[in-house]
Homo-oligomer: A and B are copies of this chain.
Amino acid sequence: MPSSTLNPLLEGKPPEPLLVVISGPSGVGKDSVLTRMRELAFPFHFVVTATSRPIRPGETDGYDYHFVSTERFEQMVREEELLEWAVVYGQYKGIPKFEVRQAMASGRDVVLRINVDGAATLKRMAPEAVFIFLAPASPEELRRRLALRRTETPAEIDRRLAVAAHEMEQVVHFDYVVLNREDRLDEAVGEIRAIITAEKQRVFPRQVRL
């Protein structure tokens, strides 16, 4: 929520860091968008999610995800080391508290990638975050994208598409929608960049308190 404190820019000071939540249906391309943002050296801290799912070819531990064992993940849950966690398609995913707090304290913007259910939890915990919903240009494009990934079986793809239809309805709880059109990744990334720039210009900026 906007606060009643004027933008520090008006006193020649840097704006407060933002907490940016990027979500959207499974398979919409959240990972591709975040990877591209990192390639372009956006000056943000990307919070690396912890997961118990197996590492995929081309992924790097500690960069794409913190890949941990199921046992270690359950320990993190017990010891309340996670800001938010969920079971996603039979695997744990969660956001280490340490990561987020360290990043915010450093004064940099924080970008989180999270599934739609997780975003709903975060909205309750941090309503003043910037919620961006990444949407496919069409359901057909989402199917093609999932098929291309080749990590899901056809039955899994069907299940994900059914879930995606429900997830799309959750867009109403978000601030912004960005379409991730096939072959137009940089357009989506540019729109996310614009949203972040614009949010820093608000006369009454959002103030994140986690």
Contacts and interface: CB of A to CB of B under 8 A. Distances in A.
Contacts of A201: 132, 176-178, 191, 194-195
A10 interface: yes
B137 A172 contact: no
A146 interface: no
Interface residues of A, number: 30
B12 A171 contact: no
A66 B177 CA distance: 39
Interface in A169-210: 171-172, 174-179, 190-191, 193-195, 197-199, 201-204
B179 A202 contact: no
Interface of A: 6-7, 9-10, 12, 132-133, 135, 137-138, 171-172, 174-179, 190-191, 193-195, 197-199, 201-204
